[in-house]
Each structure stands twice: as structure tokens, then as C-alpha cells.
């Protein structure tokens, strides 16, 4: 049975955010993840360390505002989201690849 704290770890990290810019950051051992908007840096660090079994050196997080878009004749906006820049400790690696 999964405890409440373990369940929260799975709710914090949604997945990797893979772009050309983030893949170039992998050389300096920095990985970018989409995370829950209500998560804190310590929660993100604990989730990454537990789920991927690596040691995290630092976490930086950014709130990203959703773009305002036109949907036909109506204006709308995309959802706001949060991303985390996770720097791994020396000697630790993480292989995250994009799906399809």
C-alpha cells in the first residue's frame, strides 16, 4: 500500500520538458521537468531523488504563464504551469528521452 507521502511524490513530477534548449543543458547535468504548480523546491528535490534514484544538487523553479490564444472568434488562454530546473550532483546521470 502506498502512503500519502509516496503518493504525493508521484503527483509532484509530471514528466520531462524536452526541447532543443533543455537537451543542450543536459551536458551541464541540468534537467528540466514539468511539475505541479503547488509544489515546493524541497518536494521537487525529494521526488526526483526518490523516483530516479539520483542525488540532486540544486533546484530552480519557474512559474510559466499560459499564452493568450484565439480560438475562432473567442479569446482564451492556455493553462499556467510550473517547470523545475534540476541540477544533479557530480557523478550522477539521468537518461530522459522524449516520447514519440
Question: What residue spans define the domains of the chain?
Answer: 4-88
Characterize the bridge pairing of strands 30-35 and 81-88.
antiparallel
For the chain, state the CA radius of gyration. Answer: 15
Q: Which residues pair with 35 in a beta bridge?
A: 13, 82
Query: Does domain 4-88 bear CATH number 3.30.70.330?
Result: yes
The length of the chain, given as a count of residues: 100
Mean pLDDT for 11-29 is 86
What residues contact residue 71 under an 8 Å CB cut-off, 6+ apart? none
On the question of pLDDT at 100 being above 50, the answer is no
For 34-90, the pLDDT digits (tens) are 999 999 999 999 999 999 999 999 999 999 999 999 989 999 999 999 999 999 999
pTM for this one?
A: 0.84
Are residues 82 and 63 in contact, defined by beta-carbon separation less than 8 angstroms? yes
Take residue 60 and report the three cell numbers written for it.
530552480
Amino acid at each position: 500500500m502506498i502512503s500519502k507521502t509516496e503518493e504525493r511524490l508521484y503527483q509532484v513530477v509530471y514528466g520531462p520538458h524536452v526541447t532543443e534548449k533543455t537537451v543542450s543543458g543536459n551536458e551541464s547535468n541540468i534537467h528540466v521537468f514539468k511539475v505541479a504548480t503547488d509544489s515546493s523546491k524541497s518536494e521537487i528535490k525529494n521526488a526526483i531523488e526518490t523516483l530516479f534514484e539520483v542525488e540532486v544538487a540544486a533546484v530552480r523553479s519557474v512559474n510559466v504563464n499560459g499564452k493568450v490564444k484565439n480560438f475562432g472568434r473567442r479569446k482564451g488562454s492556455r493553462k499556467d504551469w510550473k517547470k523545475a530546473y534540476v541540477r544533479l550532483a557530480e557523478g550522477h546521470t539521468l537518461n530522459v528521452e522524449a516520447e514519440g
